[in-house]
Amino acid sequence: METIAQGFGGSTFSFMWQDTALAAMRKMQTLGLNDFDVLVVPGHLWPDQLSAADRSVLAGNLRSEGIRIESLNLPALDLNLVSRVEEFRRYSIDLYIRTMQLAADLGAGAVVVVPGRVSSLFPPPGSDTEHLLRDSLAQLLRVAERLDQKIFVELHPQTPIPTSDAMLIFLDGLAHEKLLIAYDVSNAEFVGEGQPDAIRRLGNRIGQLHLSDGTRSQWRHDRVGHGTVCFDEILKAVNETRFSGVCVLEIISSSPLEDLGASAAALKRIAID
């Protein structure tokens, strides 16, 4: 599994309330991580807080320090691309568009998009939700074409398409070369999905892989080895499908550097076995 052993990307998730995005990436770079998935929140990295000059300076710093941003990622709880409140759906689309422009300005090639949220108690009709999601993504894809950006739609348990089978059915109706999947193995573990088989089914539809540990009884993004995710089988499936994207360590922790470093080391040991 030498391809996987070459390196991993990292998520700034655990740093977003305490560091700027640049400071977080500098810290993770000391662990040998690069190709970052950067959370987009005020104070960490936020479109409206960065002028054109600010963006130019930040992009220059990234280039000079060899830091690569793979994607920008808006937190799922703040937005909803399938909201029945049209003003809120419109705001969500507009913020994604501003984030896509920021990604382009910083040299990042993609944004991660959570495909809306629905109530688990009493959701609206599935056909209505699907129509809204299709319309929202179609608007984002027009911008993606103009900016030469990719959209990674994340497999996420709070969305109307929480499994790989549901994701494939939906995306087959909205096929586009710039629309790919961010496959999150701990999210998949929580919804009871067999990740190795799902990765094989999804194949080249996966644009980014999110790695962390979790269980089927608790939705978590823990250090590798602290849950029930079978990483040896996952990495085997990833190599079988010749995955060419970035494997992002998305560890959510109060001691992120320690847990990111331990997770990267554990995965590299698995990868070279």
Number of CB atoms found within 10 A of residue 146's CB? 11
CA distances from residue 165 to 169, 170, 188, 201 in whole angstroms, order as listed: 6, 9, 11, 9
- Predicted TM-score (pTM) of this structure: 0.95
Per-residue pLDDT of 132-185, as tens digits, reads 999 999 999 999 999 999 999 999 999 999 999 999 999 999 999 999 999 999
Per-residue pLDDT of 200-246, as tens digits, reads 999 999 999 999 999 999 999 999 999 999 999 999 999 999 999 99
As given in the structure block, the two tokens for residue 177 are 């070369």
Task: Let me know: does 8 contact 249? Beta carbons within 8 Å.
Answer: yes
Number of CB atoms found within 10 A of residue 58's CB? 21
Domains of the chain (ranges; CATH) run 2-272 (3.20.20.150)
Alpha carbon distance 240, 41 (integer Å): 36
**Helix (H/G/I), strand (E/B), else coil: 211:** strand
Sheet architecture: strand order including 110-113: 9-10, 246-249, 206-211, 179-184, 150-154, 110-113, 69-73, 36-39
Under the phi-then-psi rule, with left for phi > 0, alpha for psi from -120 to 50, and beta for the rest, what region is 94?
Answer: alpha
